[in-house]
Amino acid sequence: MFTGIVEAIGTVKEFIETDTSDVGGYGSSIVITDCPLILEDAHLGDSIAVNGTCVTITDFNSTDFKVGVAPETLRRTNLGALRPGHKVNLERAVAGHVRFGGHFVQGHIDTTATILSITPDGNAKTFWFQPLDSSVLRFIVEKGFIAVDGASLTVIDVDETTRKAFSVMLISYTQEKIVTSKKQVGDTVNIEVDLMGKLLEKQVTLQIENQLKGQLNSTLGGLVEKIVDSRLRQVK
């Protein structure tokens, strides 16, 4: 579990494509350096978010660390496009004594998104992102949470019809702390939507199905039933 508060920006030192076909698959490893803060208390097997993607430390020394990247992770994220010299957002798994300043971030990327535009607004910048999988837009709401390359940001606007995109604004302080501000139009970012939206959708779907079967139960089910009934009356 992570907070979406990026702790450090690291540099990719090496991207290693590994052929493990003899044991049934393919994988890769990434070596990351320029991150002394991350290495202060690193341990083998630790979870760490690299551009918002939860991966495992498989080796480390005093100057850099290595993480393993599974084929599914390469398909779902922008990690496969990383090359030596690229910068990445880093965050260690949350500890019990840490103030929770962002939002609950799992490190499980839902999709990537392309930067459509970058517009200065005073000393801030507004970014519009178009998700590769546009279905995630139903979980993205104005003023809601979104994790972009692992950084917890606030959604400014959502356009589900024309652009099929959403926007966030980066203040000047945030621009200095995350890699997203250095990216250009056409570049990709990792997107993780707020988990609560996905959980709520599942509960609503289950309660609708149970309602149709006449099997509605539980306190949460009753609450969801009232919300659904109210919403259905509004749209009739």
195: enclosing H helix or E strand: helix 195-213
Cα separation of 171 and 125, whole Å?
7
Cα separation of 155 and 132, whole Å?
17
Catalytic (active site) residue 53? no
Q: Which residue in the list 15, 108, 114, 134 is annotated as catalytic? A: 108
Q: Which residue in the list 154, 172, 205, 218 is annotated as catalytic? A: 154
Q: Which residue in the list 11, 33, 56, 114 is annotated as catalytic? A: 56
Cα separation of 147 and 107, whole Å?
9
Catalytic (active site) residue 145? no
Catalytic (active site) residue 117? no
Q: Which residue in the list 2, 127, 145, 166 is annotated as catalytic? A: 2
| 113 phi, psi to nearest 5 deg | -140, 150
As to burial, measured by CB atoms within 10 angstroms (0-12 exposed, 13-18 middle, 19+ buried), residue 32 is buried
Catalytic (active site) residue 70? yes
Q: Which residue in the list 42, 70, 93, 124 is annotated as catalytic? A: 70
Catalytic (active site) residue 2? yes
Q: Which residue in the list 11, 29, 47, 134 is annotated as catalytic? A: 47
Q: Which residue in the list 3, 35, 49, 54 is annotated as catalytic? A: 54
Looking at the annotation, which residues are catalytic? 2, 47, 54, 56, 70, 108, 154
